Amino acid sequence: DGGITQSPKYLFRKEGQNVTLSCEQNLNHDAMYWYRQDPGQGLRLIYYSQIVNDFQKGDIAEGYSVSREKKESFPLTVTSAQKNPTAFYLCASSMDSAYEQYFGPGTRLTVT
C-alpha cells in the first residue's frame, strides 16, 4: 500500500528537550511538507521541500528544523527554542508543488 507514515502517533517530552518527528512516504512524491495544527486555527505551514537536499521555510519556521537527505523521508525537529511546541503535527506530500497534497495520520506532541 502506498502512503505516508508518521511516527509515533503520540509523543511526550519535557520542556527544554529537542524532539524529532518522523515522516516517510512511498508514493514517489517529490514535494513534502510539515504543518502544525492548533485548535480553531486551521493548519499552518512550518517547512516544505520540493526536491531532495533542498527545503524552504514556511510561515512559522522559528524553533523548527528539517532535513531532506532522501526522497522518501522528511523528518522535523522541534527544538527547545520553539515557545509553544504542544500541537498536532501533520506531514504531507505531493507529486510536485503544483498538485494536491496527501497527508499522513499526524503526531500529537505534548511538551510539559
Partner 1 sequence: GDSVTQMEGPVTLSEEAFLTINCTYTATGYPSLFWYVQYPGEGLQLLLKATKADDKGSNKGFEATYRKETTSFHLEKGSVQVSDSAVYFCALSDPNAGGTSYGKLTFGQGTILTVHP
- Residue numbers at the binding site for partner 1 (CB under 8 A): 4, 6, 31, 33, 40-43, 45, 48, 50, 56-58, 90, 92, 94, 96-98, 100-106
- 8 A C-beta contact, residue 34 and residue 45: yes
CB of 80 to partner 1, least distance (A): 26
- DSSP strand pairing (54-57 vs 43-51): antiparallel
CB of 106 to partner 1, least distance (A): 5
Residue with Cβ nearer partner 1 (79 or 102): 102
| Cα 39 off chain centre by | 17
